[in-house]
Each structure stands twice: as C-alpha cells, then as structure tokens.
Amino acid sequence: MTEVLKRVKEGIEVTGVGDEYYEFLRYPKVQMTVSIPVKMRDGKIRTFLGYRVQHNNARGPYKGGIRYYPTTDLDEVTALAMLMTYKCAVVDLPYGGAKGGVQCNPKELTRDELERITRRYTYMIADIIGPYKDIPAPDVYTDAQVMAWLMDTYSQIVGKLTPEVVTGKPVPLGGSEGREEATGLGVAIGAREAVKALNLGMKGIRVAVEGFGNVGSYAALYLHNWGAKVVAASDSKGGIYNPEGLNVPALIEHKKRTGAVLGFNGSKTISHEELLHLDVDVLIPSAIEGTINAKTVGGIRARVISEGANGPTTADADKVLREKGIFVVPDILANAGGVTVSYFEWVQNLKREKWPKEEVVSKMETKLVKAFHDVLGTSRRYEVDTRSAAFCLSVERVCESVKLLGIWP
C-alpha cells in the first residue's frame, strides 16, 4: 500500500491537481470485515475472515475481484482496491476501485466447502454490492464457478436473476466471450504498441515469458501469431529456452498434458533468473509480484517489459529500469484487458445482449490501444517514465471527477 500511495502522491504533485486530494484518495470509502461461519465436511463449524474494500466511486460503481488466499488480509485488499481505482481510470472505464477476499486455502477445501464459503460471504456483503454499486469479479484462486455461486446467492436475496451483479461468470450464465484470453491479449497489445513506439517491427522480435499460466500463455500465443519469436518460457517448476523460437501452440498443449513447460521438445532447461537475463527484445513478467528486484534487475537486457503480473517490479528495481532506458508498460495498463472485458460483460448483461467474441476482442483492442497512447502522451507531456505517467493520468481523471461532483454535504 505504501508504494501505491507514493505513486498517487507523485501523480498529484506532477499534475498539480491539488495537494488536498492526496488525503481524500489516501483512505478508502468503505472497509468491511466479516466473519464467515461454515460447516465443514467433518461436521464442525469453522469461521473464516472475509473482506470487501471500496476505495473510490467518483467515476462509477466500484469494480474489483475477490481472492481466496491463506494470507489475504485487510491491508492487502485495501492496497488492491486502490490499484483498481487507477487501473479503471487509466483505461477510461466508468468504474471506481474495489477488492475483496476470504482468508482461506482453497487447495485444502472441497467443492462443497468452497460453495458454502462463497454463498455465506456473498450474504454478508450483499448490502454493499449490486449492479450499480459494486460489481465483483474473479481473482486469485476464484473462477467462473465461484462467480456463478455469488450471482445466484445475490439473485436469491433480491428475488430476481441479476447476472449484472458480477463479471467473470460462465458464458452460459451471461459471461462474456473472450474473457479467458483478455488479460493475456492486453499484455500482448501493450508489448506490440511499445515495440511500435520504438520503431521496431514485430517480425522476429524475441520474447521471453516468465509465468506461462493463463496470462503468460495467451500473451505468448498472440505475439507468436503476430510474427514474434517466443524464445523462452517458465512456470513454477522451471524454465525452457530455444534461441530459434518455441512453437507456442504446441507448448500450450504440452503444458496442458504434462502440467509444466519443462521437457518441451527442442528446448533446454534454464532457471527463472536466466530467463530474466536473456538477450531478448520483450520480457513479459506474468508470474508473481517482485520477481524483477534489486537482485535480478542488473542483468535484464530486454528493451521492452510488458507487465502481466500485478507488481512484478519492486520500487528499487523500477529506478534501475528507468536508468537503463527500458520501455515499461506498467501493470495497471498492461494487464487491464481483464477488467476491460469485465466492463463489456456488465454492459451486455445490463442490456441483455450477447456479443460475439470478435466484437469483444475488437472493442477491447481499441480501448487498450487508446489507453496506451494516452499514457505515452502523458509521459511526454510531464517528462516522466511510463509508470509515473499511468498514475498521473489516472489521478488526473479521478480528481477531475471528484472536483466536478463536489463534496456533499
């Protein structure tokens, strides 16, 4: 949270929107902690802690995911809610920022236990969520099924089917086509636009992908399809490298079949750190936070970094990247494809429409390309790096809305 607040303060100072807005944006509007009693499979009652934090809604209803994780706490959820405010603003979505979570370990829970936790948690926060109040979505260790349970519980409470209360649902229940690949595609678009900004061609651009999960694999697939050469990929079990390029569709199938990228035909095994230090044009960190840090940043040789993960670069490493002149597409811009398609899902649900995948992807690309160039223009206008520019732009937009609304009473 400290780093987020530092970025916000810098954005306020650079843009000159008014120092008083720092205190206004420093604190979330609502912080809710709930206890969630659940009957477990052994018949005993266990109580979990749940959270929902609503940071700011000057630009529209609150929007943000719900995560199920053992270490989730109020500070973490608050920081993530703040980030959502600025992520939505930088892509110019009519949303504010929120985040939620339950302190639990889904790997130790049965499907029935997960359903009971989800339904009880939804019941506890039902008064503060809603289609025009706060629209949750999936996050770490939650998925379309969890969102279906949330939607059904809320619908039962209000007495009518309300698919627009949540996004990231299964497609048969009102989920949007294109949602699965949205975040990875957004990361790929960020990398592509950065390559263009540096007057480089996509054909043969060398790419390394750290974290070959949903986000990383789709980012790799789209870049591969656009003519880039993906030479390295890694997951939690290790990394692989082939200087001639990896067959990305085949690698995705290999990962589905074996559960890892290791052992892919024609590749050699490398470590995570070796992947980060490869001589490539584009590096995509899409694993966990903090992998580009004081220890690893010195050896990075990429010309472009498009951040698929949230917070993959530490503050001290970020300074080194600036000094090296590496073009960074920051996380609040690069991985905003997911929330963008979530917005499209919400609009479809409100209108009771169903858009084809091609329309969703086209609308998302238009939105993200514009956001990229808005950030690039802000960077040049204020003579700051792209990460600072993303926060400057989002802070400007949020503060403008606050000013226009006024403070009442």
Give the pair of three-digit tokens for residue 305: 């970094």
Residue 96 has phi, psi (to 5 degrees) of: -105, -175
d(CA 271, CA 268): 10
Query: For the residues of 104-128, what is the DSSP string, one character each?
Result: --GGGS-HHHHHHHHHHHHHHHGGG
How far does CA 34 lie from the centroid of its chain? 25
d(CA 212, CA 233): 6
Active site residue 99: yes
Largest CA distance in the chain: 67
According to DSSP, residue 173 is labeled G
* Choice among 63, 99, 229, 255 that is catalytic: 99
Query: What separation in angstroms does the CA of 383 have from each of 13, 18, 231, 317, 330?
Result: 13, 19, 34, 20, 16
Q: By the 8 A CB rule, do 83 and 97 touch?
A: yes
d(CA 287, CA 355): 31
Query: Which residues are catalytically annotated?
Result: 99
